[in-house]
Amino acid sequence: MNLPTYFISHGGGPWPYMEDMRKAMHVLEESLVDIPRQLPHKPKAILMISAHWEDHAFRVMSNPAPGMLYDYGGFPEHTYHVHYSAPGSHELAERVIELIRSAGLPALADAQRGFDHGAFAPLAVMYPDADMPVVQLSLRAGLAPAEHLALGRALAPLRAEGVLIIGSGLSYHNLRRFGPLAKEPSSSFDDWLQDSLIASSTTERVARLINWEEAPAARVAHPREEHLLPLMVAVGAAEDEVASCVYHEENIFGGVVASSFRFGAIA
């Protein structure tokens, strides 16, 4: 049975490791905890497409024992020593590279890359035991929506092989307009996302995503689109399947409206 795919809003920095921040993000935490319960079976592995990794080609983490990448600043000292101990998978990395190259897209192995917070922060909540292999996959520089939808299509066979595909970003990502200033643009963009992903036909959904810059408040919500592009991969890998909103909050980060989505029905 095919696993669904997900686009998750992953929160801010190392939030699961900070008591006050984790409490403030309890709605997000509840949604992440619920994802494993939605699956027909426990995944054999996770493929995580993080907004925090870009390269000239699609880079695939191939280290069997990935380290950590503390890609944030200004947080308490202990958050620079946390460790998510999930193993990597050289076998899955090779399979991912094979699928991407078969689709005519560039892919390279990366044996040095560690888990960034777009991966380890949500996974620390979803799978705190870190007991299954996790492989990260980068975005490609240029951030072309059609290319990342094509990437998702290339990866679709993994769903029948027990691999959970997660695109990790944020449905609104304008660090200069968090707080009350985020309310109007994030709400407008979220309304467009809900309509495009859930209320539109699958064909229209793809067309809207390719032309996402035409959405209301698009460039306010995403001055740079790296936190939106993981959505394209999740959609491409489940292109003809139903979408559901699995997380929605109207006051995260002091005023941001944010959402997460599943593609594929619950068994």
Q: What is the pLDDT of residue 267?
A: 62
Sheet with strand 243-252: strands edge to edge: 107-110, 58-61, 134-140, 45-55, 163-169, 5-9, 256-263, 243-252
Q: DSSP code of 182?
A: G
**Torsion sign (Cα): 192, 177, 78, 21:** negative
Q: How many beta carbons lie within 10 A of that of residue 93, not counting itself?
A: 24
* pTM, rounded to two decimals: 0.97
What pLDDT sits at residue 50? 95
pLDDT of the residue at 220 = 97
Q: What is the pLDDT of residue 266?
A: 77
pLDDT at 206: 97
Q: What is the mean pLDDT of each run of 10 residues along the chain (267 residues)?
A: 95 94 96 96 97 97 96 94 97 98 97 96 97 97 97 98 98 92 96 97 96 97 97 97 96 93 87
Quick check: 144 and 97 in contact, CB under 8 A?
no
Bridge partners (DSSP) listed for residue 249: 258
CA gyration radius, the chain: 17
Whether residue 79 contacts residue 13, with contact meaning beta carbons closer than 8 Å, is answered with yes
Q: Which stretches within 39-66 are classed as H helix? A: none
Q: How far apart are CA 201 and CA 180, in angstroms?
A: 33
Q: What is the pLDDT of residue 248?
A: 97
Beta strand pairing status for 45-55 and 243-252? unpaired
Question: In 3D, which of 136, 135, 119, 127 has the Cα closest to residue 34?
Answer: 127
If 0-12 CB within 10 Å is exposed, 13-18 middle and 19+ buried, where does residue 68 land?
Answer: middle
Which residue, among 53, 50, 48, 122, has the nearest Cα to 92 in the 3D structure? 48
Give the H/E segment covering residue 188. helix 183-194
CB-CB contact of 148 with 229 (8 Å): yes
Q: What's residue 265's pLDDT? A: 82
What pLDDT does 44 receive? 98
Residue 104 CB neighbours (<10 A): 8
Specify whether the backbone of 130 is left (phi greater than 0), alpha (psi in -120 to 50) or beta: left
Alpha-carbon distance of 207 to 210, in angstroms, equals 5
Specify whether the CB–CB gap between 178 and 253 falls below 8 A.
yes
Contact 172, 228 (CB under 8 A): no
Domain 5-263 has CATH 3.30.465.10: no
